[in-house]
Amino acid sequence: MNATPRSAGLPAASHLLDVYPYLPFRPESAEGVYLHGEGRRIIDFYGGHAVAGLGYAHPDIVRALETQGRRLFFQSNAVALEVREEAARRLAAFAPAGLGHVFFGNSGAEANENALRLACRVTGRGRILAIEHGFHGRTAAAAAVTWSAVGKWYGFPRTPFDVGFIPRNDIAAAGRLIDDTVAGVILEPVQGQAGAFDLDPAFVQAVAAACEQAGALLIADEIQSGMGRCGAPFAIELAGVTPDMLTVAKALGAGFPCSALLVTDRIAAGLKPGDLGTTFGGGPLASALMSTVIEVIGRDRLIDNVRALSQEIIEAMPLGPVEAVQGKGFLLGLRCRRPAREMLQELLKRGILVGTSADPQVMRLLPPLVLERHHVHELLNALADIR
């Protein structure tokens, strides 16, 4: 085995590649918003990277998984499936009007990969713009537009297309850079990895207008910010903008790996069988779970819950070591006097798991949408207790 030191949390004899820095807690099971492990019960304000939108062991999700598993466990896109049709119908109805065509994939990066491919193909252009500090994934095209990967591209020798970056909220730069050489602009309305940095709605509107004028396509990466997390079905709706393409993953399947790319009529009209493809995307289990997630978000009015509880958190700031808050809904960044890594440890001692971010002073909250008021109060009490 490897003789070099292993990352904290990875056993010396592990056969796993040592590529992840682990959080300092090992869960063994989970229910609702609680993680159980190491003899403790922890409130999960991290939500497994924003994936556990409905928390854990949600009865509707467990039932859907079992029912669909018994009925039809898998079939590929070689056959038409009603369960897949239903998921696409529900997702198109949940998304902003105008994005009525769905391609299912397996991961966020795959959805972005296809969106970027279509932007180049539909416009016949070879230049993509992204926003500084954005994160879009680790595959070739997604890595090319990821700010932290500039010059490294997660090990690829070059980018598959020309790439440029627009400084955040710089409307003048957007106007200057988005010209008729640009195939598309990709942005996260709330930049998750960057510390839940919410782009100014006026900037998002200006980017959309410049794209329209230049004939470039606007891609909203809602992989982290979507599925109700930001207090609307999709965060870009809060800016009053409808993109040409939208990508979503993470909470879409409540933890079952899946993603989707949604596009307009115009983009869909240019596609024919064979233009895109995947083996697992839109499989029956993923489809049943996506439909259930959308149904539960609506039935249980979870977006109202996100808005109300998020407001309570925002209004309680500044508090303890927290100096300021950014983000939307349940994608919040708390800017702290102390490093986010220390905040994570302090909160974990008090029974709460949070995330860090690319900004060392910003800790991230991405709890399940089923969070309750008393959990928020436990968080606020814990923050008030930290010096």
Ligand X SMILES: Cc1ncc(COP(=O)(O)O)c(C=O)c1O
189, 192, 195, 243: which one contacts ligand X (CB under 6 A)?
A: 192
- Smallest separation (angstroms) from ligand X to the CB of 139: 7
Query: What's the Rg (C-alpha) of the chain?
Result: 21
Tell me if 137 contacts ligand X by CB under 6 A: yes
Residue count, binding to ligand X (CB under 6 A): 15
Which of these segments, 34-42, 96-104, 133-141, 229-237, binds ligand X (CB under 6 A)? 133-141
Tell me if 136 contacts ligand X by CB under 6 A: yes
For the sheet with 162-166, list strands across it: 101-105, 259-263, 245-248, 217-221, 182-187, 127-131, 162-166
Q: Which is nearer to ligand X, 221 or 346 (CB)?
A: 221
Q: Kindly give the pairing relationship between strand 259-263 and strand 101-105.
A: antiparallel
User: Per CB under 6 A, which of residues 20..79 are in contact with ligand X?
Assistant: 49
Q: Is 231 exposed, middle or buried (0-12, 13-18, 19+ CB in 10 A)?
A: buried
CA–CA dist 328, 344 (Å, integer): 20
Q: At what angle do helices 302-315 and 284-299 cross, to 10 degrees?
A: 60
Tell me if 193 contacts ligand X by CB under 6 A: yes
Residue pair 199/226 in contact by the 8 Å Cβ criterion: no
- Smallest separation (angstroms) from ligand X to the CB of 354: 16
Q: Which is nearer to ligand X, 103 or 135 (CB)?
A: 135
Binding mask 78-117 for ligand X (x = CB under 6 A): -----------------------------xxx--x-----
223, 336, 344, 371: which one contacts ligand X (CB under 6 A)?
A: 223
Q: Is 227 exposed, middle or buried (0-12, 13-18, 19+ CB in 10 A)?
A: buried
CA 292, 86, 226, 52 dihedral sign is positive
CA–CA dist 313, 218 (Å, integer): 32
- Smallest separation (angstroms) from ligand X to the CB of 23: 15
- Smallest separation (angstroms) from ligand X to the CB of 260: 12
- Smallest separation (angstroms) from ligand X to the CB of 379: 22
Q: Interface with ligand X by CB under 6 A: which residues?
A: 49, 107-109, 112, 135-137, 188, 192-193, 221, 223-224, 249
